[in-house]
């Protein structure tokens, strides 16, 4: 809707001058509010685009004294790049598991009537919002210690997959439910087997949903701090989320140059992933797309 | 090509709806058979049961004497065109058409070549690498047809394939489809709720109501000799006039008037309640005092192009102001454009006894009637038509 | 219309294969979600500790942990802070701000809308560690941008107003969800209904009350409950204040972390987790009940 469409068309004689003034003032106020909100949301983020290029970054947001020194510092830091790679391994692993298991389960649940299916799904969804939060960190810590998956990236992937799967199944099932059955039936009439139907018809048609879930899982795993923080011990296995908090001097002062460049490098992939999916498939809104 | 036999075939959904109720029907090899009926009467269910997408809950389904009742859809040698066409949105036209061949494991280049061949036959050669979303409704329909043809099935099933097309395209597609079916000679079952479509295209047709078949026959038979008032009411561009009355010695008493019996009416004792069926096309507008006419007041004139549909409220008095003109006994007559009377005019209407029918008032079944001018009899000369039984409602 | 309403096994999976499809997901979820949740119940009944004697041979202590919790002034404090945190950042902050943004974005040019929505979304997309650091930098005592802007050098926001800080932080971070949900909801309000209200002479407020609100009531509910749930379980504020200073922003996730991992009282931490689970359950049940009544109505 455009700005003018919201207002009734002007009457031929024109409204009385007081109303014109009033309308003008409210319009100005409206944009002032929008501008203030924009500042509120943008201000904290400015640092991450300015400070990395500053020769001597401080915490204050200021125009940079341009230099790429921070990035070369990042390049030479033994943990920084390693941690980005770790984050990539962990989040790609999580994404793959969530996608494959989530797609299979949601398809089966969408098509075959299982008694108590909806109750089960809701219960799992509920549990996931808790466990992927904080409440279950103690037993998860103990569980992983006992099965010797502590300090293992596989352990991190498995725990995050378990936490993300219910919501993924929930959302994917919506997609599967919305796929017209006649596609599958038509393939079936031509003699396709269930697996052929899945490969040829269901998965390609559910692709936007799968892409959404892929990015969702990726972004979640990429940014998750708590699970690797609790489950990993060795610094060379830490993903970026955890490593960021190790960039301090012996005196406890943050190494701002390193942190700023690292934050930027760490943030770019999620933004790109998001942009790709929303460009390609349009931004489709799903309840609970990010937990 | 195959002959399809339904032997007391039933389909009851888990929720208890008996959508197909013990149907017996034989569809001849190469026949174009239409299933017609109001929404929810079970046409789609019957078609899906024949396809194997629904499991029959009773009876048998034979294809050329082979019992296919429990075969999976892919093994029935059947192709189906869905109402929404179900073209795979992620494949281009060629891949869509070639899909059945892909299932058979044919090589990609080979099946695309075959798809092109089939598509060319339907005028799709320039659209082969478009996606379904980039096609018009009529083109999509032809792609769906091509895909059904690609596996050279012995039976085609069509579920309202024309209902997504606009009126003009629908007419074109009708002709096209019928010609295509004749050329290929494939047994075809065609579901529609549009009676004009069924009349125009089918070799034979069945009219369904509530999971049962109410009449089977050629379009001419069904149009001219509806077996009961349900069919009579359903078939025809304007519904047949169904006028309640009773028999007398000198004719039928309807709304205080005496009109002639339809020809070939059996002798019924005076005072038997009956229903006179007369198509508006076979009702003539005459003077009020013509013998055998019912007199009344013109309430509505609907202009239909070359003709006009005149509704006449039967009775002596004019319609009082403000009264609902369609209440009471109304007769509709189809007249040539330009000859229609004014609204409010007093006119008489007569039915043509050689083209009107008499139904029992209680069962609604046909008790008599004449063969029409086109001269169709009871037997249609199409093999298998005598095997088709007409289920009667209790 | 394609058949979508009924669950028909169109592809002919059959029960067995369907079971096979669901199994891997169920195993993972069972192992890493259901099992820990059940274990929480057991642990909550023991005096399990990270180190020391009770680490080797934990004893059942029955409901002692829960009794301790109810007498623990730090726990009660934490519960209260959590309530404030959820009410402030989820219900007031994100819902109200999210709705306001969605509402205003209907009335601006698409380009403005694109910019605003992207910026708000970015706050939501960026990794938690990064945004925590960004806010820590913003609010820093020595040379944080906020102090520079307000000309209040040396003011320590995180110490002076720890709760306000994490509430604003979480509002900033989470508003995108509400904004998107509400703008989807607002777009679904049929323009014809708005137009008929306008033709009947309804002013803006009346249009909102009579046309818009009835349409989005369900979404308001969904939104409020979902973000309450997420906010309730959110760990990120810990990265900003670590629960301090002096427990002043120690909301439940921080409390559990500090006690279970920090001081090693695993049994006690689990008991608190269990209490959290129950609160979650209540929120979720409330949500599901309301959702169901909504579905019945439509
Ligand atoms: N999957 C199903 N489960 C239960 N009942 C069904 C199912 N599909 C259809 N029905 C019911 O079976 C009856 C016949 O439905 P069907 O779809 O065959 O009708 P139709 O003649 O094709 O109607 P239309 O012209 O509207 O397509 C209806 O009463 C319908 O409600
Ligand atoms: Mg149908």
Q: How far is B68 from chain A (nearest CA, A)?
A: 14
Q: Are A145 and C39 in contact (CB under 8 A)?
A: no
Neighboring chain A residues of C288 at a CB cutoff of 8 Å: 122
Q: Is residue C59 part of a domain?
A: no
| pLDDT > 70? residue C294 | no
Are A111 and C252 in contact (CB < 8 Å)? no
Instruction: Kindly report the backbone phi and psi dihedral angles of residue C155, in degrees, each rounded to the nearest multiple of 5, phi listed first.
Output: -75, 125
Q: Is residue A265 part of a domain?
A: yes
Chains A, C: CB pairs < 8 Å: 305
The CATH number linked to A196 is 1.10.3720.10
**Domain locations in chain B as residue ranges:** 4-229, 238-360
Give the per-residue pLDDT at B326. 42
Do strands B18-27 and B4-12 pair parallel, antiparallel, or not at all (unpaired)? Answer: antiparallel
Query: A187 at the B interface (CB within 8 A)?
Result: yes
Q: Is residue C45 part of a domain?
A: no
Q: In the structure, which protein residues have their CB atom closer than 6 angstroms to any atom of ligand 1? A: B 13, 15, 17, 19, 37, 39-45, 193; C 6
- Residues A213-258 have pLDDT tens digits of 888 888 889 988 888 988 998 888 899 888 888 887 776 777 888 8
Q: Which two tokens stand for residue A127?
A: 């549990």
- Greater confidence, C200 or B25? B25
Touching A: which chains, 3+ CB pairs < 8 A? Answer: B, C
Which of C3, C128, C232 is opposite residue A225, by nearest beta carbon? C128
* Beta carbons within 8 Å of B238's beta carbon, 6+ residues apart: B279, B280, B281, B309, B332, B334
Q: What is the enclosing helix (H) or strand (E) of C87?
A: none
Neighboring chain A residues of B52 at a CB cutoff of 8 Å: 189
Q: Are B85 and B122 in contact (CB under 8 A)?
A: no
**Residue numbers of the domain that contains A222:** 72-285
Do strands B241-248 and B251-254 pair parallel, antiparallel, or not at all (unpaired)? Answer: antiparallel
* Beta carbons within 8 Å of C52's beta carbon, 6+ residues apart: C264
State how far the Cα of B223 lies from the Cα of A276, in Å rounded to an integer. 60
Which positions 230-249 of C are in contact with A (Cβ < 8 Å)?
230, 232-236, 239
- Residues B268-305 have pLDDT tens digits of 888 889 999 999 999 999 888 888 888 888 988 999 88
Threshold 0.80, pTM exceeds: no
**Residue numbers of the domain that contains C122:** 73-264
State how far the Cα of A171 lies from the Cα of A167, in Å rounded to an integer. 6
Give the per-residue pLDDT at B377. 36
Q: Which two tokens stand for residue C290?
A: 């309301």
State how far the Cα of B257 lies from the Cα of B290, in Å rounded to an integer. 12
Q: How far is C66 from chain A (nearest CA, A)?
A: 15
Q: Give the residue from A275, A187, C73, C204 showing the smallest Cα distance to B91.
A: A187
State how far the Cα of B45 lies from the Cα of B67, in Å rounded to an integer. 19
Instruction: Kindly report the backbone phi and psi dihedral angles of residue A236, in degrees, each rounded to the nearest multiple of 5, phi listed first.
Output: -80, 0
Q: Are C191 and A1 in contact (CB under 8 A)?
A: no
Give the per-residue pLDDT at A290. 36
* N- to C-terminal Cα separation, chain C: 20
Classify B330 in phi/psi space as left (phi over 0), alpha (psi -120 to 50) or beta: beta
The CATH number linked to C93 is 1.10.3720.10
Q: How far is B48 from chain C (nearest CA, A)?
A: 12
Q: Which residue of C116, C129, C250, C280 is the best one to mutate when testing the A interface, meaning the one whose CB has the most A CBs within 10 A?
A: C129
Are A1 and C234 in contact (CB < 8 Å)? no
Q: How far is A184 from chain B (nearest CA, A)?
A: 8
Q: Is residue A50 part of a domain?
A: no
CATH number of B238-360: 2.40.50.140
- Residues C191-233 have pLDDT tens digits of 778 778 878 778 878 888 888 888 787 778 777 877 888 888 8
- Three-state DSSP state, C49: coil
Tokens 């401080």 identify what position? A58
Is residue B184 exposed (0-12), middle (13-18) or buried (19+ Cβ within 10 Å)?
A: middle
Q: Is residue A259 part of a domain?
A: yes
| In this structure, CATH architecture of domain B4-229 | 3-Layer(aba) Sandwich (3.40)
Query: C18 at the A interface (CB within 8 A)?
Result: yes
- The least confident of A36-40, B56-60, B280-284, C282-286 is C282-286
Neighboring chain B residues of A191 at a CB cutoff of 8 Å: 72-75, 100, 103-104
Measured between CA atoms, the residue of chain C closest to residue A36 is C116
Average pLDDT over residues C34-63: 78
Q: Is residue C121 part of a domain?
A: yes
- How many residues in chain B? 394
State how far the Cα of B84 lies from the Cα of B81, in Å rounded to an integer. 8
Q: Which two tokens stand for residue B241?
A: 């006039």
Packing angle, helices C266-297 and C35-44, rounded to 10:
130
Q: How many domains does chain A have?
A: 1
Q: Is residue C122 part of a domain?
A: yes
Pick from B15, B42, B193 the residue to mutate for probing ligand 1's pocket: most ligand atoms within 8 Å of its CB: B42
State how far the Cα of C195 lies from the Cα of C199, in Å rounded to an integer. 6
State how far the Cα of B143 lies from the Cα of B121, in Å rounded to an integer. 11
Residue B251, number of CB atoms within 10 A of its CB: 15
Q: How many domains does chain C have?
A: 1
Query: B47 at the A interface (CB within 8 A)?
Result: no
Q: Which residue of A54, A129, A134, A239 is the best one to mutate when testing the C interface, meaning the one whose CB has the most C CBs within 10 A?
A: A134
Query: C5 at the B interface (CB within 8 A)?
Result: no
CA triple B146-B149-B153, angle to 5 deg = 160
DSSP assignment of A94-137, as one string? HHHHHHHHHHHHHHHHHHS--TTHHHHHHHHHHHHHHHTTTTTH
Q: How distant is the alpha carbon of residue C26 from its chain centre? A: 25
Measured between CA atoms, the residue of chain C closest to residue A6 is C107
ipTM score assigned to the predicted complex: 0.82
User: Quick check: bond before B216 cis, omega within 30?
Assistant: no
């Amino acid at each position: 809707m455009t700005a003018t469409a919201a207002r009734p068309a002007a009457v031929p004689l024109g409204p009385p001058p007081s109303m014109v003034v009033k309308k003008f003032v409210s319009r100005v106020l409206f944009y002032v509010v929008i501008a203030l909100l924009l500042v509120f949301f943008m201000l904290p983020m400015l640092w991450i685009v300015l400070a990395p290029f500053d020769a001597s970054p401080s915490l204050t947001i200021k125009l940079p004294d341009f230099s790429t020194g921070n990035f070369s510092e990042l390049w030479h830091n033994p943990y920084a790049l390693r941690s980005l790679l770790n984050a990539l391994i962990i989040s790609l692993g999580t994404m793959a598991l969530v996608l494959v298991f989530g797609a299979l389960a949601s398809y089966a649940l969408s098509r075959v009537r299982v008694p108590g299916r909806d109750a089960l799904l809701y219960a799992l969804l509920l549990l996931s919002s808790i466990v992927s939060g904080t409440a279950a960190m103690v037993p998860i810590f103990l569980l992983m210690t006992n099965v010797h998956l502590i300090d293992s990236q596989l352990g991190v992937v498995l725990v995050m997959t378990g936490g993300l799967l219910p919501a993924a199944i929930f959302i994917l099932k919506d997609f599967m439910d919305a796929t017209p059955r006649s596609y599958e039936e038509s393939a079936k009439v031509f003699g396709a087997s269930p697996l052929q139907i899945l490969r040829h018809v269901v998965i390609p048609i559910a692709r936007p949903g799968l892409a959404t879930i892929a990015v969702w899982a990726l972004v979640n795993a990429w940014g998750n701090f708590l699970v690797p923080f609790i489950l990993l011990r060795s610094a060379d296995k830490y993903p970026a989320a955890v490593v960021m908090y190790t960039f301090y001097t012996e005196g406890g002062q943050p190494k701002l140059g390193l942190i700023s460049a690292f934050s930027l490098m760490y943030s770019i992939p999620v933004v790109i992933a998001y942009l790709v999916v929303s460009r390609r498939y349009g931004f489709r809104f799903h309840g609970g797309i990010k937990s | 090509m195959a002959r399809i036999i339904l032997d007391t075939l039933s389909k009851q959904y888990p929720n208890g709806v008996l959508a197909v109720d013990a149907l017996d029907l034989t569809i001849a090899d190469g026949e174009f058979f239409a299933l017609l009926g109001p929404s929810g009467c079970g046409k789609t269910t019957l078609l899906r049961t024949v396809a194997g997408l629904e499991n029959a809950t009773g009876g048998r389904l034979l294809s050329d004497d082979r019992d296919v009742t429990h075969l999976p859809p892919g093994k029935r040698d059947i192709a189906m065109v869905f109402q929404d066409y179900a073209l795979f949105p992620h494949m281009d036209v060629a891949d869509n058409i070639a899909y059945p061949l892909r299932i058979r494991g044919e090589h990609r280049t080979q099946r695309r070549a075959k798809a092109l061949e089939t598509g060319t036959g339907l005028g799709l050669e320039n659209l082969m690498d478009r996606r379904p979303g980039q096609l018009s409704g009529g083109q999509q329909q032809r792609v769906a047809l091509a895909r059904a043809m690609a596996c050279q099935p012995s039976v085609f099933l069509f579920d309202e394939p024309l209902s997504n097309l606009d009126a003009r395209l629908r007419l074109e597609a009708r002709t096209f489809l019928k010609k295509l079916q004749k050329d290929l000679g494939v047994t075809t079952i065609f579901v529609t709720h549009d009676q004009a479509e069924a009349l125009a295209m089918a070799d034979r047709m069945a009219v369904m109501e509530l999971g049962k078949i109410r009449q089977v026959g050629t379009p001419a038979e069904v149009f001219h000799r509806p077996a009961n008032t349900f069919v009579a009411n359903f078939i025809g561009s304007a519904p047949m006039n169904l006028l309640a009355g009773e028999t007398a010695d000198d004719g039928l008493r309807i709304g205080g008037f005496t009109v002639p019996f339809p020809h070939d009416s059996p002798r019924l004792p005076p005072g038997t309640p009956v229903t006179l069926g007369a198509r508006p096309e076979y009702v003539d507008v005459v003077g009020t005092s013509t013998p055998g006419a019912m007199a009344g007041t013109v309430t509505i004139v609907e202009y239909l192009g070359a003709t006009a549909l005149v509704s006449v409220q039967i009775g002596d008095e004019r319609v009082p102001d403000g009264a609902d003109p369609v209440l009471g006994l109304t007769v509709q007559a189809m007249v040539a454009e330009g000859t229609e009377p004014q609204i409010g005019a007093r006119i008489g209407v007569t039915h043509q006894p050689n083209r009107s029918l008499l139904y029992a008032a209680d069962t609604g079944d046909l008790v008599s009637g004449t063969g029409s001018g086109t001269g169709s009899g009871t037997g249609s000369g199409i093999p298998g038509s005598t095997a088709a039984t007409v289920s009667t409602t209790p | 219309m394609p058949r979508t309403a009924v669950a028909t096994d169109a592809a002919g999976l059959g029960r067995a294969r369907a079971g096979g499809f669901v199994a891997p997901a169920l195993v993972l979820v069972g192992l890493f979600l259901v099992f820990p949740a059940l274990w929480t119940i057991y642990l909550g009944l023991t005096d399990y500790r990270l180190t020391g004697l009770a680490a080797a041979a934990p004893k059942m202590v029955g409901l002692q942990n829960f009794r301790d919790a109810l007498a623990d002034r730090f726990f009660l404090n934490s519960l209260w802070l959590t309530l404030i945190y959820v009410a402030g950042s989820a219900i007031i902050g994100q819902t109200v701000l999210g709705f306001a943004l969605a509402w205003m974005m209907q009335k601006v040019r698409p380009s403005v809308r694109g910019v605003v929505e992207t910026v708000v979304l970015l706050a939501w997309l960026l990794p938690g560690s990064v945004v925590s650091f960004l806010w820590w930098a913003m609010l820093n005592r020595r040379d944080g941008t906020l102090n520079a802007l307000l000309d209040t050098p040396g003011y320590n926001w995180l110490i002076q107003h720890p709760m306000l800080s994490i509430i604003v932080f979480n509002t900033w971070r989470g508003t995108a969800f509400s904004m998107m949900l509400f703008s989807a909801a607002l777009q679904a309000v049929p323009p014809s209904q708005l137009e008929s209200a306008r033709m009947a002479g309804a002013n803006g407020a009346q249009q909102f009350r009579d046309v818009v609100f009835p349409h989005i009531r369900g979404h308001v509910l969904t939104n409020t409950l979902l973000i309450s749930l997420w906010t309730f379980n959110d760990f990120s504020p810990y990265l900003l204040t670590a629960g301090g200073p002096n427990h002043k922003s120690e909301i439940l996730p921080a409390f559990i972390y500090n006690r279970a991992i920090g001081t090693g009282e695993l049994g006690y931490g689990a008991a608190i987790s269990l209490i959290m689970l129950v609160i979650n359950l209540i929120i979720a049940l409330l949500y599901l009940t309301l959702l169901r009544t909504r579905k019945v109505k439509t």
